[in-house]
């Protein structure tokens, strides 16, 4: 073993943070601002984890949010507390879902204006009923969001405390106790409308509408409470702008951030004495002590670092595709401008029955024959991620997030399954376009089409997301599940080792919440 000469300033820190994902950086910034000495060790050559911008296409000045792409769960309080130079922008259209009925191309447009949304519902469903149900349903989730969201950055409430805070028996039952499918079927009659509602419960979550685990409910909950509104906004400058602002804030407050440093082991004697983190760099190994060690890496990594029994297995279930287009494709549904349709979330093959079928096929080991996915165009809302020449030429980015493709489907042949799934997914999109998408793809400097696809296994390899799970593990309820959960939901059985990443209680998504909460736990607040 070569011992690397430590490039950092101290042999011991108040806090050593394993992982420079956005949550690790949030924790670092809070702790450094509170006067603590902080060292962040990140294994990759850059910070950000799944919240980064990159130029994936050779010679093309397009900085895409490579993995995560929309922001809802980041509390304004964190942006304010840390003085971040970071902004989000609302989308004028929330979603568009194309559909062919009676041989006619149409679709459901949500957003633009209330009148347009109402009219779109009426045209699709033949009456005003479905729209009224939609309004009532989301009024309920909105009321719940305003009560639950502020609790995410407070000490963890018990189940009964949160229930009392929600103070709405019907809403509590619908979201916290019964499978989401019951509420969806009770409120809505139209298959397409049901599907659009359900998708928020299936992002990065492999579950059926009636799954007794209620994993779909927890995923849905995190998708409708963000910011107290459930709005999903566009990060100006791309997701990397958030990470860069966080890294700047942490460094400005005195935190040291080292990339290319992979933690290998955490030794702690459980007494609260400083723990030791052994790490590896390109040139050798070293060790550093931390009075607290905060692990931004996944629960799987935490168990490995501590040499403990493996964490419960996690499995991601999504396909992520990044594209650059020379122009947006024309739609078969001529009642909607492509700029509106792609500016919000564009749902494909996400009817309620289609989602159920895709889940059932995947559960039996098959790639979905009609793969569901959703698409959005960042550059329509925020062109700043494209170089000026691309903007002048009308280029646009496209991000696709596919559902119901669990990691197990890729284990035999990742590359082959990726190709088959990508082709099948694009075929579903093409069915609603007046021209094939591939004709609109830009070419990189080597003449290759600007498109890349990532399976769950790719994400595990690149980012160490366990089984490619975008939330490190299935989301938890935002309340204490028993006394062992701890005051902030970040505690482990070692008093000086905390989780500060997506796998914590109230983790998952681009929120900074577990980073904030781990910092509060260290500060004893």
Ligand X SMILES: Cc1cc2nc3c(=O)[nH]c(=O)nc-3n(C[C@H](O)[C@H](O)[C@H](O)COP(=O)(O)OP(=O)(O)OC[C@H]3O[C@@H](n4cnc5c(N)ncnc54)[C@H](O)[C@@H]3O)c2cc1C
CB of 515 to ligand X, least distance (A): 7
Distances (CA, A) of 472 to 225, 297, 345, 352: 20, 8, 24, 27
Q: Nearest CA to 488 among 221, 154, 163, 159?
A: 154
Tell me the closest approach of the beta carbon of residue 505 to ligand X, in angstroms: 13
Residue 492 near residue 501 (C-beta atoms within 8 A): no
Nearest to 265 by CA among 282, 278, 281: 278
Closer residue to ligand X (CB): 251 or 357: 251
Select 130 or 374, whichever has its Cβ closest to ligand X: 374
Q: 302 vs 367, which CB is nearer to ligand X?
A: 302
When the beta carbons of 19 and 112 are compared against ligand X, the nearer one is 19
Cβ of residue 492: shortest distance to ligand X, in angstroms? 15
Binding residues for ligand X, rule CB under 6 A, total: 36
Which residues make beta-bridge pairs with 380? Answer: none
Residue 504 structure tokens? 């914590």
Taking the complex as a whole, the smallest distance from the CB of residue 40 to ligand X amounts, in Å, to 9
Closer to ligand X by CB, 17 or 99: give it: 17
Residue placing its CB nearer to ligand X in the complex, 305 or 325: 305
- Of the two residues 263 and 306, which places its CB atom closer to ligand X in the complex? 263
Instruction: Give, as ranges, the residues between 355 and 374 that touch ligand X (CB under 6 A).
Output: none
Angle between helical axes of 129-148 and 159-166 (0-180°, round to 10): 130
Tell whether residue 187 is a contact of ligand X (CB under 6 A).
no
CA–CA distance, 228 with 77 (Å, rounded to integer) = 12
Contacting residue, 234, 463, 480, 499, with ligand X by CB under 6 A? 463
**Pick from 296, 354, 428, 517: which binds ligand X (CB under 6 A)?**
296
Cα–Cα dist 342/432, whole Å = 12
d(CA 307, CA 266): 8
Question: In this structure, are residues 16 and 41 in contact, taking their beta carbons and an 8 Å threshold?
Answer: yes
In whole angstroms, how close is the CB of 30 to ligand X at the nearest point?
14
Q: CB of residue 253 vs ligand X: minimum separation in angstroms? A: 18
Residue 321: strand pairing partners = 400, 453
| Residue 63 DSSP symbol | -
Three-state SS string over 363-420 comes to HCCCCCCCCCEEEECHHHHCHHHECHHHHHCCCEEEEEEECCCCHHHHCCCHHHHHHH
Print the binding letters for residues 16-55 with ligand X: x by CB under 6 A, - otherwise: --xxxxxxx----------------xxxx----xxx----
Q: Which of 108, 459, 499, 520 binds ligand X (CB under 6 A)?
A: 459
For ligand X, the closer CB: 320 or 404: 320
Residue list 320-349, contact with ligand X (CB under 6 A): 320
Cα–Cα distance measured from residue 443 to residue 439, given in angstroms and rounded to the nearest whole number:
10
Does 297 bind ligand X (CB under 6 A)? Our answer is yes
C-alpha span between 277 and 68 (Å, rounded): 29
Sole binder of ligand X in the list 96, 176, 342, 471 (CB under 6 A): 471
Q: Closest CB to ligand X among 180 and 297?
A: 297
User: Which residues, in sequence order, are CB contacts of 269 under 8 Å at separation 6+?
Assistant: none
Positions in 219-278 near ligand X (CB under 6 A): 262-263
- DSSP character for 52? -
Measured distance CA(218)–CA(202) in Å, rounded: 10
Distance, CA of 406 to CA of 208 (rounded, Å): 13
User: Closest approach of Cβ 457 to ligand X, in Å?
Assistant: 12
Q: Is residue 206 within the footprint of ligand X (CB under 6 A)?
A: no
**Which residues within the stretch 61-100 sit at the binding site for ligand X (CB under 6 A)?**
67-70, 73
**Torsion angle defined by CA atoms of residues 51, 57, 60 and 63, in that order, rounded to the nearest 10 degrees:** -10
Kindly give, in sequence order, each residue whose CB lies less than 8 Å from that of residue 33, ignoring residues fewer than 6 positions away. 81, 82, 249, 253
The pattern of x and - marking residues 298 through 317 that bind ligand X according to CB under 6 A reads: ---x----------------
* Residue 53 or 120 with smaller CB distance to ligand X: 53
Draw the binding track, 482-521, toward ligand X (x: CB under 6 A; -: no contact).
Answer: -------------------xx-----xxx-----------
Give the three-class secondary structure for 135. Answer: helix
Least Cβ distance, residue 462 to ligand X (angstroms):
9
Q: CB of residue 5 vs ligand X: minimum separation in angstroms? A: 19
Q: Which is nearer to ligand X, 320 or 418 (CB)?
A: 320
User: Which range, of 15-23, 212-220, 422-430, 432-440, touches ligand X by CB under 6 A?
Assistant: 15-23
**Nearest CB to ligand X, comparing residues 51 and 440:** 51
Instruction: Count other Cβ atoms within 10 Å, centred on residue 360.
Output: 13
Interface residue list for ligand X (CB under 6 A): 18-24, 41-44, 49-51, 67-70, 73, 262-263, 296-297, 301, 320, 459, 463-465, 470-471, 501-502, 508-510
């Amino acid at each position: 073993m070569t011992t690397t000469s430590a490039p950092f300033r101290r042999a011991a820190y108040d806090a050593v943070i394993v992982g420079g994902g956005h949550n690790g950086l949030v924790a670092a910034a809070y702790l450094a601002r509170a006067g603590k000495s902080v060292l962040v060790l990140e294994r990759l050559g850059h910070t950000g984890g799944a919240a980064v911008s990159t130029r994936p296409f050779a010679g093309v000045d397009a900085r895409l949010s490579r993995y995560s792409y929309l922001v809802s769960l980041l509390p304004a309080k964190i942006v304010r507390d840390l003085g971040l130079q970071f902004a989000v922008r609302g989308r004028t259209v929330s979603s568009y879902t194309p559909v062919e009925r009676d041989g006619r191309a149409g679709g459901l447009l949500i957003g633009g204006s209330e009148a347009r949304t109402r009219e779109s519902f009426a045209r699709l469903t033949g009456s005003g009923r479905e729209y009224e149900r939609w309004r009532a349903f989301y009024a309920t989730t909105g009321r719940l969001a305003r009560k639950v969201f502020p609790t995410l950055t407070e000490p963890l409430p018990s189940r009964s405390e949160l229930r009392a805070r929600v103070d709405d028996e019907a809403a509590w039952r619908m979201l916290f106790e019964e499978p989401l499918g019951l509420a969806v079927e009770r409120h809505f009659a139209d298959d397409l409308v049901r599907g659009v509602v359900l998708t928020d419960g299936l992002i990065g979550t492999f579950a059926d509408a009636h799954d007794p685990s209620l994993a779909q409910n927890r995923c849905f909950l995190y998708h409708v409470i963000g910011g107290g509104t459930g709005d999903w906004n566009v990060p100006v400058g791309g997701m990397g702008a958030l990470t860069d602002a966080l890294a700047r804030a942490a460094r400005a407050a005195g935190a040291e951030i080292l990339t290319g440093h992979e933690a290998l082991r955490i030794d702690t004697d459980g007494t609260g004495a400083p723990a030791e983190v052994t790490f590896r760099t390109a040139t050798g190994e070293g060790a550093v002590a931390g009075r607290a060690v905060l692990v931004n890496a996944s629960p799987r990594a935490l168990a490995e670092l501590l040499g403990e029994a493996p964490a419960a297995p996690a499995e991601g279930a999504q396909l992520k595709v990044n594209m650059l287009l020379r122009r947006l494709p024309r739609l078969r549904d001529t009642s909607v401008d492509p700029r509106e349709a792609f500016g919000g979330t564009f749902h494909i093959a996400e009817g309620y029955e289609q989602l159920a079928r895709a889940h059932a096929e995947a559960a039996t080991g098959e790639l979905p024959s009609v793969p569901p996915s959703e698409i959005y165009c960042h550059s329509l809302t925020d062109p700043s991620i494209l170089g000026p020449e691309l903007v002048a030429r009308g280029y646009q980015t496209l991000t696709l997030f596919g559902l119901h493709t669990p990691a197990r489907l890729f284990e035999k042949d990742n590359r082959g399954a990726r190709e088959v799934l990508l082709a099948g997914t694009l075929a579903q999109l093409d069915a609603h376009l007046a021209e094939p998408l591939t004709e609109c793809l830009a070419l990189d400097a080597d003449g290759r089409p600007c498109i890349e696809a990532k399976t769950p296994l790719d994400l595990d390899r690149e980012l160490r997301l366990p089984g490619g799970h975008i939330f490190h593990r299935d989301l938890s309820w935002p309340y204490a599940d028993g006394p062992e959960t701890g005051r902030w939901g970040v505690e482990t059985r070692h008093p000086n080792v905390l989780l500060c990443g997506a796998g914590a209680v109230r983790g998952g998504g681009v929120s900074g919440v577990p980073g904030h909460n781990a910092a509060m736990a260290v500060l004893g607040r």
